[in-house]
Amino acid sequence: MLLDLTEDETLLKNAVEAFAENRLRPAIKDYADRHRFPTELVREFLGLGFMGTAYPPEAGGAGLGTRGAAIVAEVLARVEPSFAAIYLCNSAPMTVIARYASDEQKRRWLAPLCAGETIASFGVTEPSGGSDVASIKLRAMEDGDHFVLNGSKIFSTNAGTPLHGLSTVIAVTDPDKGPKGLSTFIVPVGTPGFSVGKAGRKIGWRIADSVELFFDNCRVPKAQLVGERGEGLKQILTTLSIGRILVAATGLGLARKAMDLAKAYGNGRKVGGRAIFAHQGLAFPLADILTKIHAAELMIRHSAILSDSGRAFRTETSMAKLFASELAGEAADIAVQVHGGYGVYEDYDVSSLLGEAKVLQIVEGTSEVQRLVIARELTDA
In whole angstroms, what is the distance from residue 157 CA to residue 254 CA? 19
As a three-state string, the secondary structure of 242-288 is HHHHHHHHHHHHHHHHHHHHHHHHHCCCEECCEEHHHCHHHHHHHHH
Count of CB atoms situated within 10 Å of the CB of 316 = 22
Cα angle, residue 78 at apex, residues 286 and 165 outer, rounded to 5°: 145
Q: Answer yes or no: 364 catalytic.
A: yes
Q: Which of 145, 180, 179, 167 is closest to 214 using CA atoms?
A: 167
Q: Exposure string (b/e) for 210-236, b if CB count within 10 Å is 16 or more?
A: bbbbbbeebbbeeebbbbebebbbbbb
- For every residue of 100-131, DSSP letters joined together read HS-HHHIIIIIHHHHTTS-EEEEE--BTTBSS
Q: Which of 101, 118, 111 is closest to 159 using CA atoms?
A: 118
In whole angstroms, what is the distance from residue 255 CA to residue 292 CA? 9
Q: Which of 318, 83, 95, 293 is closest to 207 using CA atoms?
A: 83
Residues 6 or more apart in contact with residue 23 via CB below 8 angstroms: 41, 44
Residue of 346, 364, 368, 377 marked catalytic: 364
User: CB–CB of 90/51 below 8 Å?
Assistant: yes
Active-site positions? 364
